[in-house]
Amino acid sequence: MTVFGSSDAKVLMPRTIADGMIKQSKSLSTVARLSNREPMRFGEVDFITFNDFPKMEYVEEGANKASTSTGFGSVTAKPHKGQVTLRFNEEVQWADEDYQLGILTEVADAGQVALSRGLDLGLYHRINPLTGSVITGWDNYVTATTKRVEQATADADEDFRAAVGLLINGTPSSQVNGVAIDPKFAWALADLKKKDGSGETSDQRYPQLGFGTNVSDFMGVPVAQGDTVSGTPEAVDTKVRAIVGDFQNGIRWGVQRELPVEIIRFGDPDGQGDLKRKNQIALRLEIVYGWYVFTNRFAVIEDKVV
C-alpha cells in the first residue's frame, strides 16, 4: 500500500513547477480507439446473432414466393466492474485548496487513464491490472483466439500479412478494419529495409512510419498503438505484439455505469485501516464495463516463446 503525503505534493507547488503537475504520459485504450462504444444497461446484455443470413429471392411475374431459411442465436455481454482507490494524508487536500493546484483532479485524471488501460487488459488478456494476474473465471477475451502467427524468421510485415490472411481466408471470412500494436512491433515495422537483387539496402521500407513512435495506419488498416497489447507494465509480458481483426463488429462493448470521483473520509474502504484513525482520506473511481468478443474474428501476432 502507498499513502501519499504532503511532501509528495510539495514538488508540485507553483514555486517549483509553474504549471502545476507534470504527469507521465501513458497510452489510453486501444480498444476505444478502434472499436465504437455503445450504450448498455447494467447487467448481462444479450445480442441476437444470425446463424445463417436470410437470402433474397427473385420472383417472376405471377410466380409463388418461397420462404428463406435462417437461424437465430444470441451472445451475452457480461458486466465487469473496475475500480481505483488511492489513499492520501488529510493534509494533501488542504494543500490542494490553498494552492489551487487541482492535485485531486489530476489524480482523478490519472485514475481515468488506469480505467482506460484496464479495459484493454481485461478485454484483450483477462488480466487484473492491480495484481497482474489472469482472471481464470473469464472465458471471453480477444487473445483466446486460435488464429495465431508466431514471429520467427519472417519480417514483421510478412507476419502482419499472414495474420490478415488467416482472417480473410478463414471460414467464414472476417473483415480486417483495425490492428492494435505493441511499440516493439511498431519499431520492427519501422526498422525494415528495402531489398534489391543483392540483399538488404539502407533505405527504409516504410519511411512514413518514422521511428514507429506514433503509427496510425499501416497498409490501409487503422492502427492503435499501446503497450497494453503486451500487457505491460501491469503484468508479465504476454509476448503478444499485435492484434488484428474486425474491431468494428467483432467487439461489442460499452460502459454500463461510470461513477464520479468519490472522496471517502470515513471508514475502511480498502481493508488498510480506519481512515480517521490514520488521518487519511481516500479517492475512488469506479466503472462497469460490459463486453462480448467474437474471438474467431481476431488473429494474434506473438513473439516466439523461447
CA–CA dist 265, 281 (Å, integer): 5
Give the whole-angstrom CA distance, residue 230 versus residue 180. 10
59: in domain? no
Residues in Cβ contact with 162 at an 8 Å cutoff, skipping those fewer than 6 apart: 149, 154
In a domain, 143, yes or no: yes
- Does residue 69 lie within any of the structural domains? no
Mean pLDDT to the nearest integer, 48-54: 56
CB atoms inside a 10 Å sphere around CB 204: 14
Average pLDDT, integer, range 255-271: 81
Domain count, the chain: 1
In a domain, 58, yes or no: no
Asked if pLDDT for residue 21 goes beyond 50, the answer is: no
Q: β-strand 298-303 against 148-151: which pairing, if any?
A: parallel
Q: What is the CATH number of the domain that holds 171?
A: 3.90.1690
Average pLDDT over residues 61-65: 72
Closest residue by Cα to residue 134 from 124, 125, 144, 143: 125
Euclidean distance between CA atoms 163 and 178, whole angstroms: 12
Per the domain annotation, does 64 fall within a domain?
A: no
- Does 79 map to a domain? yes
pLDDT at position 52: 54
**What is the model's pTM?**
0.81
- Distance, CA of 9 to CA of 281 (rounded, Å): 15
- Strands 280-293 and 71-89 turn out to be antiparallel
Name the amino acid, one letter, at 125.
H
Mean predicted confidence (pLDDT) in 17-29 = 47
Residue 181 lies in a domain: yes
pLDDT, position 25: 43
Residue 277 in domain: yes
Residue whose C-alpha cell reads 528495402 in the numeric block:
194
pLDDT per position as a tens digit, 182-231: 999 999 999 999 988 777 888 999 999 998 888 999 999 999 999 999 99
Beta-carbon contacts of 218 under 8 Å, excluding residues fewer than 6 positions away, are: 160, 179, 181, 189, 206, 209
Q: Phi and psi of 118, rounded to 5°? A: -60, -35
pLDDT in tens, 151-193: 988 899 999 999 999 999 998 889 999 999 999 999 999 999 9
Range of 291's domain?
Answer: 3-50+74-194+203-303
Of 9-13, 54-58, 70-74, the range with the highest mean pLDDT is 54-58
Rounded Cα–Cα distance for residues 156 and 276 (Å): 55
Q: Which of 239, 270, 238 is nearest to 133 (CA)?
A: 238
Give exposure, 254-287, as e/b (b: 16+ Cβ within 10 Å). Answer: bbbeeeebeebeeeeeeeeeebeeeebbbbbbbb
What kind and span of H or E run contains 89? strand 71-89
The rounded distance, in Å, linking the Cα atoms of 144 and 300 is 9
The answer to whether 256 and 243 are in contact (CB under 8 A) is: no
* Cβ proximity of 81 and 89 under 8 Å: no
